[in-house]
Amino acid sequence: MQIPFSVRNFLRLALEEDIGSCDLTTTLLIPENQKSRALVVAKENFIVAGMPFVQEVFNIVDTKTEFRVFFDDGSRVRKGDMMAEIHGSTRTLLSCERVGLNVLQRLSGVATLTNAFVEQVRGTRARIVDTRKTTPCMRFMEKYAVKIGGGSNHRSGLYDGVLIKDNHIEAAGGIKEAVTAARCTHHLSKIEVEVESLRDLKEALSVGADVVMLDNMSVKDMKEAVAMVKGKALIEASGNMTLKRVREVAETGVDIISVGALTHSAPAVDISMKIVR
């Protein structure tokens, strides 16, 4: 896997934040030339995501650190499973432990929650996608974890997709005005429009929106919206998507369900690292 420079830089900054000028405790206690191995152990059941990034954390500090990964990303682990074995400088293992585990716990949590949503809509046409509600500077990694969990990615940022939301519509003077302006100046991209009512939907369809986002609509209105669209545009449902509600939404016939909770509310899973002399 090719890790982007921005992610490497983020991991370097995370290490700098934690270690600072030195790992004081480790420097005082551990001889510079001491070697050890460490076992990475699952403390609960979950789906693994983030192993390449964890390896990068340790390699930033010492390129001689060796990894044996027993569960690749996408694997299901159970409580007590040994996920990986790390060989190298004891100082490196101790100094990188927290940052490495933070990344692995966070991304595995995202993958696990995503998979739970994917399983809830299995058998319907709906795809589960993420949003831009990500942790600052962790977007690439969190969206990677969504894919590992079986979900799909929405746009990566403001630069790679036209999504006209309520504030754009207000500022531009209306749905028609917003879509017309976008179509004239950026004609090669598909245009998505957020709609809050069936009346808004009708207007968005009349001006040729390629994708419509049904924002916080009731299930009843979503069913009516699907009937109105009749394949003229892709339909995305968004707003207040929970595991309890998502199946009912999927059964309305929408194409995409965007879930901010995948990245803004996924709980970190429990993983530990143990040094073995």
Q: Catalytic residue numbers?
A: 98, 133, 165, 194, 215
The dihedral sign for the CA sequence 37, 40, 43, 45: negative
Residues 260, 114: contact at Cβ < 8 Å?
Answer: no
Under 8 Å between Cβ of 207 and 175: yes
Listed in sequence order, the residues at least 6 apart from 177 whose beta carbon sits closer than 8 Å to its beta carbon are none
Q: Which of 38, 46, 40, 26 lies closest to 65 in space, CA to CA?
A: 38
Angstrom distance (rounded) from CA 159 to CA 146: 20
Ramachandran sector of residue 238 (left: φ over 0; alpha: ψ -120 to 50; beta: rest): beta
Instruction: Answer for the pair 114, 19: CB distance below 8 angstroms, yes or no.
Output: no
Q: What gap in Å lies between CA 179 and CA 184, rounded to an integer? A: 9
Longest dimension (CA), the chain: 72
Helices 198-206 and 219-229 pack at an angle, to 10 degrees, of: 20
Nearest to 260 by CA among 115, 140, 132, 113: 132
